[in-house]
């Protein structure tokens, strides 16, 4: 095996005495300072995005994992069949589902179940996306909302209504329950 | 007793009091907050960031629509917000500390730092003849003939605050910080004192106001570009003066515990060093003491080497100091010049802090004892020899 013996650089006396190295260092820091300062004065800082005024929402990647939410299909049916897989896989145990039966006079009676209550505690949620991954019905999705705030713990628990509000309608994919098929 | 009171010069008392309050509490302490702001903004731009640029005067709390940014520069109110934060935080005294010394330590850091303000000439003279004062007011709190000696004597008391904080906290990190700091400050004090002996030899004077007046008329010590400064003698003496300036600046960094010599509080090794156990206003006092020491140190360096309040090329511009005949506006301009120079020097302090890594402790002591000390001594000798052939004045 070829070994390379790395030689220590031979420093000149002025480098050893911190004279030229100090000047070099000051040049670098001062250069950065002047460059950034001129950018700030020109109101165009290249690196920092000033958050509430500028957001990178439009540049969020496709795979961005934001707040999880429930979706309905194109006929406004709740996709969730309350199988509770997401509840069981959720690592921080943020999801709580109370399953309910669909009454027999409902046009979607053959789906049999839908959640009576569906709560995600956004204080606990770690945005891992396991719920999305595990869902057999593609009913839960991680959206691109990331600024989830609230003034109380209660406000931070998203109930079913809020989850559908965030999620909206999702067309396509699983057509198992659609009349069209 | 009545005779004693009758002898008190009331005008002198009032003028002194105004100077003390004005310079110490209305100039140096607010300058500390300005330093903190500068430190944060300057370090930000060095690291390609923006820094605190939002806090304005919080008029929204009073029902106005927008916060007002001072001078249109965002974030100038940040320092005040920091101060309020320090006051409102819980002041926690751990159970195992030695309470008396624990409380004494922060005071011992701030008080010496502020006491040293007394001898700094922050301006030339202020002519208040319209107020009925016949003599122009000297813009220095105490016009002592032993100014720098006084400064060093008081400034070296600052180490007690740090040592006491380290010891009284009864905790290992503060203890290590305190031990390091005492060793460091004692070794660098020597070279700090020795490094400016050549300066006093050249001036033949230890009165800081007079030193500044001399520089105003004959060119700054390390920039002798006008008056007598253009003579050969001054330029030959410029070499030891430059060495002296460099040594003084380095020792000043060590004295004020600034990077690259901040071994007393290095965050990466000692958590926070000697102030690890402190919180709230007690911590803020350490902070203030350190920055005040920095301001005074810069003030001293500016006064000794960079002409203090003197305006560059003053005799050529006609802005030089005439004893007893300086108009008020020129006096105020001199004060402004002094603070501008001090701020410039502080910016240099900050630039160094964000450029250089910290020394290892043995390197620090070796540098202090084996280089700084000898160099300062040799410089005294060099100046003395050069002054045989090129006497000043």
Give the CATH number for residue A98.
3.30.70.3270
Angle at A167 between CA A165 and CA A169, to 5 degrees: 100
Residue B247 lies in a domain: yes
State how beta strands A113-121 and A95-101 pair: antiparallel
From the list B50, B53, B351, the residue facing A29 with the nearest CB is B351
Residue B70 lies in a domain: no
Task: Please count the structural domains in chain A.
Answer: 2
A29 touches B: beta carbon within 8 Å: yes
Residue A177 lies in a domain: no
Instruction: Phi first, then psi: give them for residue A118, nearest 5 degrees.
Output: -140, 110
Confidence of residue A91 (pLDDT cuts 50, 70, 90): very high
- In order, the DSSP letters of B92-106 are ---TTS-HHHHHHHH
Q: Where are the beta strands (DSSP E) in A11-142?
A: 68-70, 95-101, 113-121, 140-142
User: Are residues A28 and A106 both part of a single domain?
Assistant: no
Best of B39, B41, B50 to substitute, by most chain A Cβ atoms within 10 angstroms, is B50
Residue B131 structural domain:
94-389
User: Are residues A84 and A137 both part of a single domain?
Assistant: yes
Which residues partner with B68 through β-bridges?
A: B57
User: Are residues A38 and A66 both part of a single domain?
Assistant: no
Per-residue exposure over B347-379, b if at least 16 CB sit within 10 Å of its own CB, e if not:
bebbbbbbbbebbebeebbebbeeebbebbeeb
Q: What integer pLDDT is reported at residue B158 of this predicted model?
A: 80
Question: Tokens 């069949």 correspond to what residue?
Answer: A81
CB contact under 8 A, A47 and B45: no
CB B298 within 8 A of CB B349: yes
Residue B197 lies in a domain: yes
User: Are residues A37 and A73 both part of a single domain?
Assistant: no
Task: Please count the structural domains in chain B.
Answer: 1
Residue B299 lies in a domain: yes
Confidence of residue A97 (pLDDT cuts 50, 70, 90): very high
Q: What's the rounded Cα separation, in Å, for the pair B171 and A131? A: 48
Short-list A92, A176, A100, CA closest to A127: A92
Among chain A residues, CA nearest to B54: A50
CB contact under 8 A, B354 and A29: yes
Q: What's the rounded Cα separation, in Å, for the pair B342 and B378? A: 29
Residue A157 structural domain:
58-167
Residue A6 lies in a domain: no
Residue B379 lies in a domain: yes
Residue A78 lies in a domain: yes
A25 min Cα distance to partner chain B (Å): 6
Among chain B residues, CA nearest to A52: B54
Residue A180 lies in a domain: no
B47 touches A: beta carbon within 8 Å: yes
> From the CA atom positions of chain B, what is the Rg in Å?
22
Q: What's the rounded Cα separation, in Å, for the pair B169 and B165? A: 6
* Position A86 pLDDT exceeds 50: yes
A31 touches B: beta carbon within 8 Å: no
The pLDDT tens digits along chain B (393 residues) read 667 777 777 777 887 888 888 888 888 888 888 888 888 888 888 888 888 877 777 777 776 666 666 666 677 777 788 888 888 888 888 888 888 888 888 888 888 888 888 888 887 777 777 776 677 777 788 888 888 888 888 888 888 888 888 888 888 888 888 888 888 888 888 888 888 888 888 888 888 888 888 887 777 888 777 777 677 777 878 888 888 998 999 888 888 877 788 777 777 777 777 888 888 888 888 888 888 888 888 888 888 888 888 887 777 777 777 776 777 788 788 888 888 999 999 988 888 888 888 888 888 888 888 888 888 999 999 888 888 887 776
CB contact under 8 A, A33 and B42: yes
CB B222 within 8 A of CB B305: yes
Best of B74, B250, B355 to substitute, by most chain A Cβ atoms within 10 angstroms, is B355
A123 touches B: beta carbon within 8 Å: no
Per-residue exposure over A22-57, b if at least 16 CB sit within 10 Å of its own CB, e if not:
beebbeebeeebeebbebbeeeebeebeeeeeeeee
User: Are residues A107 and A85 both part of a single domain?
Assistant: yes
CB contact under 8 A, B48 and A47: yes
From the list B45, B50, B356, the residue facing A33 with the nearest CB is B45
User: Are residues A78 and A103 both part of a single domain?
Assistant: yes
Among chain B residues, CA nearest to A38: B45
User: Are residues A27 and A89 both part of a single domain?
Assistant: no
Q: How many residues does chain A have?
A: 181
pLDDT digits (tens, 9 = 90+) for B233-268: 778 788 888 889 989 998 888 888 777 887 777 777
To the nearest whole number, what is the mean pLDDT of chain B?
Answer: 82
Residue A30 lies in a domain: yes
Cis check for the bond before B326: say yes or no (omega within 30 of 0). no
B363 touches A: beta carbon within 8 Å: no
User: Are residues A64 and A150 both part of a single domain?
Assistant: yes
> Diameter of chain A by CA atoms?
93
| C-alpha dist (Å) from residue B36 to A83, A147, B176, B284 | 57, 31, 26, 12
Residue A25 lies in a domain: yes
Which residues partner with A120 through β-bridges?
A: A95, A158
Residue A64 lies in a domain: yes
User: Are residues A126 and A40 both part of a single domain?
Assistant: no
Cis check for the bond before B264: say yes or no (omega within 30 of 0). no
Q: What's the rounded Cα separation, in Å, for the pair A94 and A129? A: 12
CB contact under 8 A, A36 and B354: no
Structure tokens at A9: 């650089």
CB contact under 8 A, B351 and A26: yes
Residues of A in contact with B43 (CB under 8 A): none
pLDDT digits (tens, 9 = 90+) for B176-218: 888 888 888 888 888 888 888 888 888 888 888 888 888 877 7
Residue A9 lies in a domain: no
State how beta strands B137-138 and A95-101 pair: unpaired
User: Are residues A65 and A147 both part of a single domain?
Assistant: yes
């Amino acid at each position: 095996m070829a070994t390379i013996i790395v030689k220590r650089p031979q420093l000149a006396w002025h480098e050893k005495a911190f004279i030229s190295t100090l000047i070099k260092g000051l040049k670098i820091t001062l250069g950065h300072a002047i460059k950034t300062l001129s950018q700030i004065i020109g109101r165009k800082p290249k690196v920092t995005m000033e958050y509430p005024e500028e957001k990178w929402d439009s540049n969020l990647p496709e795979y961005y994992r934001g707040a999880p939410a429930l979706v309905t299909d194109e006929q406004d049916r709740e996709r969730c069949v309350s199988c509770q897989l997401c509840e069981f896989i959720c690592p921080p145990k943020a999801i709580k589902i109370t399953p309910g039966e669909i009454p027999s006079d409902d046009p979607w009676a053959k789906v049999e179940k839908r959640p009576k209550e569906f709560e995600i505690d956004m204080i606990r949620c770690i945005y891992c996306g396991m719920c999305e991954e595990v869902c057999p019905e593609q009913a839960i999705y991680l959206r691109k909302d990331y600024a989830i705030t609230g003034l109380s713990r209660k406000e931070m628990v998203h109930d079913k209504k809020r989850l559908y509000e965030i999620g909206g309608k999702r067309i396509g994919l699983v057509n198992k329950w659609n009349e069209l098929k | 007793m009545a005779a004693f009171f009758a002898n008190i010069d009331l005008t002198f008392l009032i003028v002194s009091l105004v100077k003390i309050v004005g310079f110490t509490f209305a100039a140096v302490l607010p300058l500390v907050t300005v330093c903190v702001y500068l430190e944060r903004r300057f370090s930000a731009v060095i690291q390609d960031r923006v820094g605190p640029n939002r806090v304005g005067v919080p008029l929204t709390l009073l029902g106005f629509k927008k916060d007002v940014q001072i001078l249109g520069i965002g974030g100038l109110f940040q320092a005040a917000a920091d101060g309020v934060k320090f006051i409102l935080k819980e002041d926690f005294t751990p159970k195992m500390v030695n309470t008396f010394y624990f409380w004494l330590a922060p005071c011992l850091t701030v008080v010496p730092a502020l006491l040293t303000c007394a001898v700094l000439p922050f301006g030339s003279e202020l002519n208040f003849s319209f107020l009925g004062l016949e003599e122009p007011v000297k813009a220095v709190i105490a016009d002592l003939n032993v100014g720098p000696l006084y400064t060093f004597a008081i400034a070296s008391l600052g180490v007690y605050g740090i040592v006491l904080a380290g010891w009284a906290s009864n905790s290992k990190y503060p203890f290590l910080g305190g031990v390091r700091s005492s060793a460091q400050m004692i070794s660098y004090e020597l070279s700090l004192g020795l490094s400016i002996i050549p300066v006093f030899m050249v001036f033949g004077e230890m009165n800081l106001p007079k030193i500044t007046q001399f520089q105003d008329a004959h060119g700054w010590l390390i920039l002798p570009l006008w008056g007598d400064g253009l003579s050969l003698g001054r330029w030959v003496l410029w070499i030891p003066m430059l060495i002296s300036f460099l040594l003084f600046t380095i020792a000043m960094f060590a004295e004020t515990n600034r990077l690259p010599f901040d071994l007393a509080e290095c965050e990466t090794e000692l958590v926070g060093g000697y102030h690890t156990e402190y919180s709230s206003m007690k911590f803020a006092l350490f902070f203030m003491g350190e920055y005040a020491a920095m301001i005074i140190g810069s003030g001293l360096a500016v006064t000794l080497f960079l002409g203090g309040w003197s305006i560059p090329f003053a005799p050529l511009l006609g802005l030089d100091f005439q004893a007893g005949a300086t108009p008020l506006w020129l006096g105020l301009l001199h004060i402004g010049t002094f603070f501008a120079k001090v701020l410039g020097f502080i910016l240099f302090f900050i630039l160094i802090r964000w450029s250089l890594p910290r020394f290892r402790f043995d390197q620090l002591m070796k540098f202090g004892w084996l280089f700084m000390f000898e160099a300062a001594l040799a410089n005294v000798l060099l100046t003395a020899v050069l002054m045989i052939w090129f006497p000043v004045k």
